[in-house]
Structure 1
Amino acid sequence: MKRVLLTVKGKVQGVGYRRFTLQKARALGLTGYVCNLENGDVEVLAQGAYPAVDQLIASCEAGPFAADVSHVLVEDDEGDEIYLDFSVTG
């Protein structure tokens, strides 16, 4: 099991980024969430099998067509919250 917290920077709000991430994460069988941050970034917490999490990270770096991702900060997350699915929050 791998669990990461991503901070996605660039033009990532108002371009369908959360819906894009939700669809990718669910297709990969991941749990966690995606949300907009007040500073214009998007936060993604993803947990699941190593290859699936790595695939989501690659998708987040590309983003949906209308997005312009400048940087994705990837941090290992040691949290103990349990997520039963992947959802959009905030």
Structure 2
Amino acid sequence: MGGVVGAVRLVALVRGRVQGVGFRFWTRSRALELGLSGWARNLADGHVEVVAEGSRDACHALLAALRGPEAPGRVDAVVPSFEVPRGDLDGFVTG
């Protein structure tokens, strides 16, 4: 990211039936389409954590997709926070 004007880091906790339904891989596809770097990973409590860095507009578009009707499974809530980008992400992975 290093020095991209308007870059942000989105950290989103996704609640609902989002494990075992292809949600992380779907999220990865959306993020790559938007030019974002980061990850989506399952948490032990059943939630999915999504971390993405890129332009503010792209991060907001990913956030809208996570909340949208096309997301696999059932999304009950998405709790986002925006941070200063660290520039330490390369590609978008699932874990």
Normalization by structure 2: what TM-score? 0.85
Larger radius of gyration between Structure 1 and Structure 2 = 2
Gaps of 5+ in 1: none
Question: In the comparison of the two structures, how many residue pairs are matched?
Answer: 89
2:34 to 28, 36, 40: 28
Between 49-58 and 64-73, the greater mean CA deviation after superposition: 64-73
Inter-partner Cα distance in structure 1 for 2:24 and 2:68 = 13
Aligned to 2:68: 62
Alpha-carbon offset, residue 9 of structure 1: 0.1
Inter-partner Cα distance in structure 1 for 2:94 and 2:69 = 16
1:43 to 49, 70, 73: 49
Alpha-carbon offset, residue 66 of structure 1: 4.1
Moved over 2 A (4+): 62-66, 77-81
Identity across matched positions, percent: 33
Task: Say what the alpha-carbon RMSD is for the aligned residues.
Answer: 1.6
Alpha-carbon offset, residue 2 of structure 1: 1.2
Check whether the contact 2:41–2:49 (CA below 8 A) recurs between aligned residues: yes
Distance 1:20 1:63, change over 3 A: farther
Aligned to 1:53: 59
Inter-partner Cα distance in structure 2 for 1:63 and 1:43 = 19
